[in-house]
Structure 1
Amino acid sequence: MIAMCNGLKNHDFSFRKLQNADFHDLTFENVDFSNADLTGANLENCLCRNCNFSGTILRGASLKGTDFQDSNLREADISGANLFFAMLEHADLTKIIHDNQTQFFDLYCPAEGPLIGYKKCFGFKIVQLLIPADARRTSATNTCCRCDKAKVLTIKDMYTLENYNEAVSYVDSEFIYRVGKWVVAENFNPNRWADSTGGIHFWLTRKEAEGYM
């Protein structure tokens, strides 16, 4: 194994056999992993700046919190890998290979039909939302989802369950949720890999919403 303190720059790992390698918390810059075998490798919390993972085998790899922005994952195999909170915005995901064992790559919320969502607002208020079937919805690589419109069903105190008529968004103080009213996010960003961006953020369970912040 090559000794690495905090990271590696301009290195060629292409076609290398690196099964179960432990690279967690490292910074890679302009590193070529193309066609390497990283089956079962640990790349948790790595920062990959302009790295090449094209054709790389990442089956069963732990990619939690890994920043792949601006990296090339074209035709990489992430079957069975865990991508919880991995950052994929601006990454090349063309023909990436994944399966039903790949965690947090597919859309987390239902792609079709109406659903119920929950969000936490100022004052420990939990808002219950109806996301209609025609609402655009998306998610990145975690349990937080976004939609462009929803109807407010209930607003309750997180601890006492006391009912309220309105609640104020954490992000935008002018975005008000009112019971029985529709809310529309005009700034909804359809790019699912842009996590902290425009849209009504929600969770699929009340417990997840309560844990926010």
Structure 2
Amino acid sequence: MGFRKSESEYLTRSHEPFLYDETPIIDNKEKFKKLLKLSEEDNKVSFREHKLVNMDLSGCDLRDLDFWRASFEKCNLTNTDLSRSVMDDVSFYDCQIRGMKMRDCNARGASFRYHDMEGVDLSGANIYASILEDAINQDKIVTDERTKWFRMTCPEEGPFIAWKCCTDLRVVMMLVPAEAKRCMATQESGRVSKAKVLSIKSIDERESYEWAQSTVDPDFYYEVGKWVEPANGFQENRWKDSSPGIHFFIDRQQCIDYQAK
């Protein structure tokens, strides 16, 4: 299966060079309003890679705008409507965002860290690779069945097959038992508290191995037929992505693509 097409396109785009040698800064609401008016007359006007600072934009209509790689710093965005805007790789720093509307946005890679997300509306939004770690009130975010990557993509109950790629590109096939704790943040990878190693093979599946070495902990090994549990415990907070647990992918090709990139 590999990475989804839209996410592959995002990952490719996220490595594009920055547009400006020096980041454009907007710290005056009147100036911002003038630029908004220009954007209504000329669709080429965008706020890509701009830094928006110290502005009260609460309740403003900022729909259908391009904020790719922009940052909002010390801005009041309470009940601001950003629906359908490009919000990929946007960062929020010390802002007020409660009730902010991001319906039908591409908000891939957006950082909401440390912000109160009560009432933030992500209906229909794509939040692939977004950072919700250390945010407040993630359980009060508004979503719907169209919201992408907010819900875990691994089975929430029951056993399932998981994959991981170890050193020397040895691919480990694991059985996650029904009783194992499991969690995923906003990407293809997740973590479990326990798994049984079913097989270890080369990428082309022509060679089989009895063991594989972790790419993170050189003292941690996966051995065929044995159960593995994380040496340093299991972090149950799903939003803390890079934290203790047996890391996995639910698709074999995804783990290979991730390790090979």
**Which TM-score applies when normalising by structure 2?**
0.78
Q: Shift of residue 161 of structure 1?
A: 2.7
Q: 1:13 aligns with which of 57, 81, 90?
A: 57
The question of 1:116 aligning with 2:161 is answered yes
CA distance in 2, matches of 1:94, 1:140: 13
The question of 1:208 aligning with 2:237 is answered no
Q: Deviations over 1:162-195 (max 9, x none)?
A: 0000000101111100000000014211111111
Q: Shift of residue 65 of structure 1?
A: 0.5
- Partner residue of 1:53? 97
Q: Could you tell which deviates more after superposition, 140-149 or 68-77?
A: 68-77
The question of 1:174 aligning with 2:246 is answered no
- Contact 2:50–2:67 (Cα < 8 Å) also in 1: no
- Contact 2:122–2:143 (Cα < 8 Å) also in 1: yes
CA distance in 1, matches of 2:89, 2:236: 26
Matches within 5 A, 1:104-183: 104-183=149-228
Q: 1:102 aligns with which of 123, 147, 157?
A: 147
**Which TM-score applies when normalising by structure 1?**
0.96
Q: Deviations over 1:139-166 (max 9, x none)?
A: 0001101101100000001135300000
- Contact 1:152–1:182 (Cα < 8 Å) also in 2: yes
Q: Could you tell which deviates more after superposition, 140-149 or 29-38?
A: 29-38
Q: Indicate how the Cα distance of structure 1 residues 157 and 94 shifts in structure 2: closer, same or farther if over 3 A, else same.
A: closer
How many equivalent pairs are there? 213
Q: Could you tell which deviates more after superposition, 92-101 or 188-197?
A: 92-101
Q: Which has a greater percent of strand?
A: 1
AA in 2 matched with 1:168: Q
Q: 1:71 aligns with which of 106, 110, 115?
A: 115
AA in 1 matched with 2:237: N
Q: Could you tell which deviates more after superposition, 139-148 or 26-35?
A: 26-35
Q: Deviations over 1:97-147 (max 9, x none)?
A: 101100000112110000000000001100000000000000000110110
Q: Deviations over 1:6-38 (max 9, x none)?
A: 302221110001111211101211111110111
Q: Shift of residue 94 of structure 1?
A: 4.4
CA distance in 1, matches of 2:142, 2:205: 47
Q: Indicate how the Cα distance of structure 1 residues 160 and 115 shifts in structure 2: closer, same or farther if over 3 A, else same.
A: closer
The question of 1:198 aligning with 2:198 is answered no
Root-mean-square deviation over aligned CA pairs: 1.4
Question: Matched residue of 2:174: which SS?
Answer: strand
Q: Which has a greater percent of helix?
A: 2
- Partner residue of 1:188? 234
CA distance in 2, matches of 1:82, 1:138: 19
Q: Shift of residue 77 of structure 1?
A: 1.0
Q: Deviations over 1:65-120 (max 9, x none)?
A: 01110122211111100000000011122421101100000112110000000000
- Contact 2:62–2:81 (Cα < 8 Å) also in 1: yes
CA distance in 2, matches of 1:164, 1:212: 21
- Contact 2:105–2:125 (Cα < 8 Å) also in 1: yes
CA distance in 1, matches of 2:115, 2:55: 15
The structure whose Rg is larger is: 2
Structure 2 unmatched runs, 5+: 1-30, 36-46
- Contact 1:152–1:177 (Cα < 8 Å) also in 2: yes
